[in-house]
Structure 1
Amino acid sequence: MMRLTRTAGGVAALALTLAALAIIIESPAAILAAGSLAIFLLWRAGRFSRDFRNLAASLRVNRTVDRMILRQGAAANVRVRVDLTPPPGMEARVRDVPPAVSIASPPLVEPGETAAYTLRIVAPGRTAFGGIILSACDAFFSYDLHIRHFEKPGLRVFPVRAAESGGWGKGSGMQDFEVDRRAALDGPSVRGFRLYREGDDPRLIDWKISAKHNVFYT
């Protein structure tokens, strides 16, 4: 729903005051003034609605994530670029909506700028972004629209069970849920890598190689 700014609220209050005064003193001039202000606000509301639709149609969002395959609790860096064309007299900003199972504080993005933030996925499985929130205002009205179809790229998160890993990674910190890769290996050394197969132990996945090629390697 559109919200009134202070300017529009003042105009609406003046129109109501004139309407009440017109009823009390039976003044045609007050009725005419109140009606004119009401018509003006309706015209501004229609204009704002039209401009906002054009603004939303011009919106382009480019979101990149440095890791689309990651472990539960690990951090991923997100960059969001927003391109849109606000009409004269209108200001617009965009806020990214991270996945519902993540912890993040995305900043507001101005048109033509790029913002960066970090998120942590706290639940395993496949997940996607929640879209973006487009906020716009002019001198009389403001409006926020949640656009959900800007959800790419998708993320895949593998669970990490600390009790099964044989120990926490050196220097990783428990808060990162990082497991020592060497502790997850059955042999004393790594002889090579191959694509992950159904039934393989997820603890044998090499996350660095997998993230680089966007496919699981063990």
Structure 2
Amino acid sequence: MSPAHDVRVADDGRARCGWVGDDAEYRRYHDEEWGVALHGDRALFEKLSLEAFQSGLSWITILRRREGFRRAFAGFDPAAVAAFDESDVARLLADESIIRNRAKIEATIANAQLLVTHIALEPGGLDELVWRHAPAPRATRLAQLADLPASTPESVALARTLKAVGWRFVGPTTAYALMQSAGLVDDHIVGCWRATATTG
């Protein structure tokens, strides 16, 4: 990707990471959520679940359906989702407001069950498990979108840890996308207004 597309200036005059494009919802997500530290088991369960549904799709596809996902999955309350049964799977497979993928739906329910019966019982729960894999801040901010990694040693380790306790639909790339969206890393590139806002 050429440097001209690494940062884009929108009609509001703000320069943003080039992946944002012109979609208003994408702009809001970039400005208010992406790279901002996210804590709490419910919030991280939601993000991990949505990142799994995103696999093979664009993030904007998921973002536009996020409210539908929240309605369908009881606000991603782990205890509520853990209690879903086959009738809920059937309901979700018929719900056009979400991505209707049986394997991902069943994985989300299984992950909720794992969270409430195992991970949440550990000190710090999912929050501690995820955040202990946060890397040290980079010495210098990345200058180009092409510099953004698909995975890192830390995301490989996070994926391995989650898989070891039984988490489904998580790999190093999904784990790194979580790290970006939940603020374990700050990947706003040089020239983006958020990079300026979060420097120093």
Q: TM-score range by the shorter chain?
A: under 0.3
Task: Name whichever structure is richer in helix by fraction.
Answer: 2
TM superposition score normalised by structure 2: 0.25
**Structure whose alpha-carbon radius of gyration is higher:** 1
Task: Name whichever structure is richer in strand by fraction.
Answer: 1
